[in-house]
Amino acid sequence: MMTMARTASHNSLPDYDRPPVVETVLGVQFERLTAFHNAHLGAYWKSLDNDVWTRVADAPLLASQFERFTETAQWSRGVQLQLTQDPACRLQISNASGDRMIQVQNGRLHFNWVGTGGGGYPRYASVRKGFVEVLDLFEKHIVDEKLGDFRPNQWEVTYVNHIAKGTVWNTPRDWNFFSPLASLPRFEGVVDGESFQGEWHFVIPERRGRLHVQWQHGVKASPGLQEMIVLTLTARGPLGDEVVGGAANDRQKVLEGLDSGRETIVRFFRHAMSRSANEYWGLNDVDD
């Protein structure tokens, strides 16, 4: 069972001056509310400060995700098609400057920081504070609208990193800066490795959740054409069967899970990257 001492010890975590992260997402999945309809999405937006949260857009629903540890669970990650007549949607609410986003649907609440990489990242504590504020308002909305009980069942943390060509790599042969991949193979006179798309899945110790790692090689269209790696790290896990004691305890488990997920991501990033890559991004000396 995770303790607060473990999740609160952020001072010893790897820290970068110039991390390549361009987006951070903190989220909670909860049991669907039977009284919740699309109209409540609009009502939730109007309950926010509309001078801050100025823009809205509809988006497709996010499918429910559950990190289970049964014999067959690890083989059930394939594409899942959902055939439904449910017209429900996900609402994306952005602030005026476009660097914050709330995503809400029946069963999911996410808070995004969206940036351009480099030193603009506001750090985890700031994003976590934003998530807590949004969660407070959402729980209040559920109570005010008499929509039922808010019952979270899973936490989720995502870091999206853009690693541009010309930074820590120039050709696919340089991809050994990322130890799970090493360099792309070539067979002299036969073929020369050009690109790779792939993913890895790791169990977090004590089955607190999983870390999902996705590597994508492509070209970013704007601004200009820039070849890059998009490295997406998602830590996700259940609250556990031991969650009892009401909303306050549920909330604490969500926040502990987010802290644990963030810790997993930053430690993995540090250990998966080469010494030269860590130096390029300004890794500070830590006791890790």
Per-residue pLDDT at 82: 44
Choice among 155-159, 172-176, 272-276 with the minimum mean pLDDT? 172-176
Per-residue pLDDT at 194: 87
Structure confidence by residue, pLDDT tens digits, 118-137 = 447 889 999 999 999 999 99
What is the spatial distance between Cα 136 and Cα 255, in angstroms, rounded to a whole number?
Answer: 13
Per-residue pLDDT at 74: 58
Structure confidence by residue, pLDDT tens digits, 67-102 = 988 766 555 554 444 444 455 789 999 999 889 999
- Asked if residue 5 has pLDDT above 70, the reply is no
Confidence band (pLDDT; 50, 70, 90) for 183? confident
Give the mean model confidence (pLDDT) for residues 200-219: 95
Per-residue pLDDT at 285: 72
Phi and psi angles of residue 205, each rounded to the nearest 5 degrees, phi first: -50, 150
Supply the pTM of this predicted model.
0.87
What is the spatial distance between Cα 111 and Cα 98, in angstroms, rounded to a whole number?
Answer: 13
What is the spatial distance between Cα 215 and Cα 228, in angstroms, rounded to a whole number?
Answer: 10
Helix spans in 73-154 (H)? 124-144
What is the spatial distance between Cα 278 and Cα 268, in angstroms, rounded to a whole number?
Answer: 12
Query: What are the structural domain ranges in the chain?
Result: 14-63+87-280
Q: Would you give the distance in Å from CA 225 to the centre of its chain? A: 26
Specify the higher pLDDT residue, 26 or 192.
26
Phi and psi angles of residue 120, each rounded to the nearest 5 degrees, phi first: -75, -10
- Asked if residue 241 has pLDDT above 70, the reply is no
- Two structure tokens written together for 217: 């090689």
What is the spatial distance between Cα 12 and Cα 8, in angstroms, rounded to a whole number?
Answer: 10
What's the half-sphere exposure (Cβ side, CA atoms, 13 Å) at 55? 9
The verdict on whether omega for the bond into residue 238 sits within 30 degrees of 0, i.e. cis, is no
Per-residue pLDDT at 89: 86
Q: What are the C-alpha distances in Å from 27 to residues 126, 145, 217, 224?
A: 15, 22, 26, 32
Contact in structure between 154 and 66 (CB atoms under 8 Å):
yes
Choice among 22-31, 140-149, 159-168, 232-241 with the minimum mean pLDDT? 232-241
- Spell out the residues 6+ positions from residue 213 whose beta carbon is closer than 8 angstroms to its own: 180, 199, 200, 201, 202, 231, 232, 233, 234, 268
What is the spatial distance between Cα 203 and Cα 237, in angstroms, rounded to a whole number?
Answer: 10
Edge-to-edge, what's the strand order for the sheet holding 226-238?
53-59, 90-95, 100-105, 108-114, 21-30, 152-164, 226-238, 209-220, 198-204
Tell me which DSSP letter residue 117 carries: S
Element (H, E) at 158: strand 152-164
- Two structure tokens written together for 111: 């808070």
Mean pLDDT of the chain: 86
With 0-12 / 13-18 / 19 or more C-beta atoms within 10 angstroms meaning exposed / middle / buried, residue 146 is exposed
Per-residue pLDDT at 8: 40
Per-residue pLDDT at 157: 98
